Amino acid sequence: MNQIVKKLVNDQKQVTISLTSLEKQIRKTMKNEVGPLFYKELADAILNLEREGVIEPIKSAKSYSRDMRVRDRYRKIIVSNFDEHELKQELLTSFHQEISVTYYFKNLDKYQDIRGYVKSISDFLKTSDEKKYFLSANERSYELFGDEKFLCGRRGKSLLINLKISYKDLYCFETFEPFFHIGLAKNEHENILIVENLDTFFSLKKLYNENVCSWNGIDFSMIVYGEGNKITKSFCHLDELNVPENVNIYYFGDFDREGINIYHRLSKMSKRTVKLMKPFYEEMYRRRKNKLSSKKQNLNESAIKFFFEENKFDEEAEMREYLTIGKYVPQEAVNIEVMRRIADGVRKPL
């Protein structure tokens, strides 16, 4: 069993190993030779590989149902053998002058894995400007690496940061998904409201068309459907719409862990200031039904701390406890009739 398991693990190209898949491969290999101690022998073989430094358990893995001594997922440990002098020489002499090699000069093991990517970037930079043309980041990524997702992915972005190369240097631009909206903020003094959920957006859209769009002295000229966390990816669509950078942006989402996480991400990722539409949250919390969320949501202490530091509530202690327990209030609690009643009044037609 030990030799079979070791060979299957070594031959597998993927870094992640699923014990369920591995079990099927072993059964297929052994055919009728599977005995009553199959799962014990499999677990023993896995533990041997772990002791030998061939594999390591993935942190989020669960115990394997057939033998609790092992986990259901492992990761192969990749040991790199490289010529340090050769790699340093390559970094110092082979690449375009705009590429910063400092990071990889100090981290040769990481450089070993991305040498081909650095060479492709360098070759592109060496091309004369007359032959360069702007493409989307995905198009340029496919052209350079044969992988259209690489440049905009986590590994690609980290590589560019380490090399101190920008999309502009690669003559490409990142594209953003558009969002649904009604109205358009054209001047710096105007106000935008971003809402998390679709039903609330349609309710606000209906009110907007009735010229009911002012609450707590804030008159909104633009309502955006954030579509949950998607707004963190589509937020830059404001730039494409030529919305002035200094407009007032307010956010209104569910009062739960994820709704607060979205508000926190949006505030931290953007140069634009994003405020909370506090009157709606106060009204939403008043209409709570003390229900636990059916969704498994991450309790982000930093996000909750930021939420209450930026916004003062009379019931802060109780609201904090509400989130800690895992209870929630959907923004639909502030329905269209509630919003109509708490509005500043009907705005006169323009």
| Residue from 193, 188, 186, 160 nearest 174 by CA | 160
Asked if residue 189 and residue 333 are part of one domain, the reply reads: yes
Asked if residue 189 and residue 334 are part of one domain, the reply reads: yes
Residue labelled with tokens 């039904």:
289
Asked if residue 57 and residue 12 are part of one domain, the reply reads: yes
Among residues 10, 42, 76, the one where a domain terminates is 76
> Does residue 246 lie within any of the structural domains?
yes
Asked if residue 103 and residue 58 are part of one domain, the reply reads: no
Among residues 76, 97, 116, the one where a domain terminates is 76
> Does residue 347 lie within any of the structural domains?
no
Asked if residue 212 and residue 314 are part of one domain, the reply reads: yes
| Structure-block tokens of residue 174 | 């990142």
* Domains identified in the chain, total number: 3
> Does residue 270 lie within any of the structural domains?
yes
User: Domain span at residue 202?
Assistant: 181-342
Asked if residue 186 and residue 169 are part of one domain, the reply reads: no
pLDDT in tens, the chain (350 residues): 888 899 888 888 778 889 999 988 888 888 777 788 889 999 999 999 998 888 999 888 899 988 999 999 998 886 666 688 888 999 999 999 999 999 999 988 888 878 889 999 999 999 888 888 899 999 999 999 888 889 988 889 999 999 999 999 999 988 778 899 999 999 989 999 999 999 999 999 999 999 999 999 999 999 999 999 899 888 888 988 999 989 999 999 999 999 999 999 999 988 899 999 999 999 999 999 988 887 778 888 999 999 999 999 999 999 999 999 999 999 999 999 999 999 986 544 33
